[in-house]
Structure 1
Amino acid sequence: MKIKIITVGKLKEKYLKEGMAEYQKRLSRFAKLELIEVKDEKTPENASLAENQQIMAIEGERIEAKIGPRDYLVILAIEGQQLPSEQFSKQLAQAMLAGHGTLTFVIGGSLGLTPAIKKRADLLLSFGKLTLPHQLMRLVLIEQIYRAFMIQAGSPYHK
């Protein structure tokens, strides 16, 4: 099993890097994890709608280049489904049983993702209506992926 987490921009904060490293280590017993950071585009301060759409399109192309044709694709989007951890775990287990060798998760940039890339998703997932920094969302996501595997393993971690 392989898991890819594709994000826009570089992770900079030391404490987040340390948290990511901890969960990457924990996940290693279940899957091979690949963290992919694609370059983010600088957004002008008073960018027009057209400029924002162009930036999203460029970032979207970079993301799409990292997605395999048979990947089970989970896009994090505020309009996505909100699932309890148990249901999220079941979704991932079903994807693996369906023969998807790679689970790919995408966190877009500060402007979000284009409708075209969202359309490709097997699952649009939301962690709620709160606005969280994209950098922090990486840590929240990797912890929830780890939790999903621990639920599947029947571990008390989830309790």
Structure 2
Amino acid sequence: MKITVLCVGKIKEKYFTLGIDEYAKRLSRYCKLEIIEVPDEKTPDNASENEELQIKAKEGDKLLRYIKDNAFVIALAIEGKMLTSEELSEKMEQLGINGDSNVVFVIGGSLGLDKRILDRADYKLSFSKMTFPHQMMRMVLLEQVYRGFRIMKGEPYHK
């Protein structure tokens, strides 16, 4: 299975980079992992709703360039479905069984994802009703994907 994490923005904090690198290394036993970053757009203070939509559209244009037609797209969205770690593992296993071997997780920038990305998504996943920095979500997502593979393989994991 190929897992792509397609995200807006760069990781600036070293502690996130270290965590992401660690989970990327661990995941190499289970899948081919690719992390693609697209540049975020600057959001002016007190941006209007229209300006925010334009920013999300520009970020959406950049993201869409990397989404292939045959990809199973999972958008991280606050309005998505919340799953347990076991349910995410089952979802990933089912994708493999169904032949969906190219899975793309999409993480938006500080304003979220453009409507076109949400419309293209085959599945919307929420980790919480709370908002998290996209840098942190990248690390949390990789940890949960790693945990999902461990569960799938019947290997021990920390509960």
TM-score of the superposition, structure 2-length normalised? Answer: 0.96
Q: Which residue in 1 is equivalent to 2:142? A: 142
Please show how residues 75-114 of structure 1 align to structure 2 within 5 Å. 75-114=75-114
Percent of aligned pairs with the same amino acid: 54
Distance in 2 between residues matched to 1:102 and 1:116, nearest whole Å: 20
After TM superposition, what 4+ stretches of structure 1 lie above 2 angstroms from structure 2? Answer: none
Do the aligned residues in 1 keep the contact of 2:75 with 2:124 (CA within 8 Å)?
A: yes
Match of 2:157 in 1: 157
- Paired residues, number: 159
Residue 12 of structure 1 is matched in structure 2 by 12
Displacement of 1:101 after TM fit? 2.2
The aligned counterpart of 1:50 is 50
**Cα deviations by residue, 1:10-67 (Å, 9 ceiling, x for unpaired):** 0011111010111001000111110110010001112111111111001001011111
8 A Cα contact 1:151 1:158, kept in partner? no
Task: Show structure 2 runs of 5+ residues with no match.
Answer: none
Aligned CA RMSD, in angstroms, stands at 1.0
Q: Note the 1:110-125 alignment, pairs <5 A.
A: 110-125=110-125
Q: Distance in 1 between matches of 2:96 and 2:121?
A: 16
Question: Normalized against structure 1, the TM-score is what?
Answer: 0.96
Deviation of 1:158 after TM superposition, in Å, equals 4.5
* Structure 1 residues not aligned, in runs of 5+: none
Please give the alpha-carbon distance, in whole angstroms, between the structure 1 residues aligned to 2:128 and 2:22.
Answer: 24
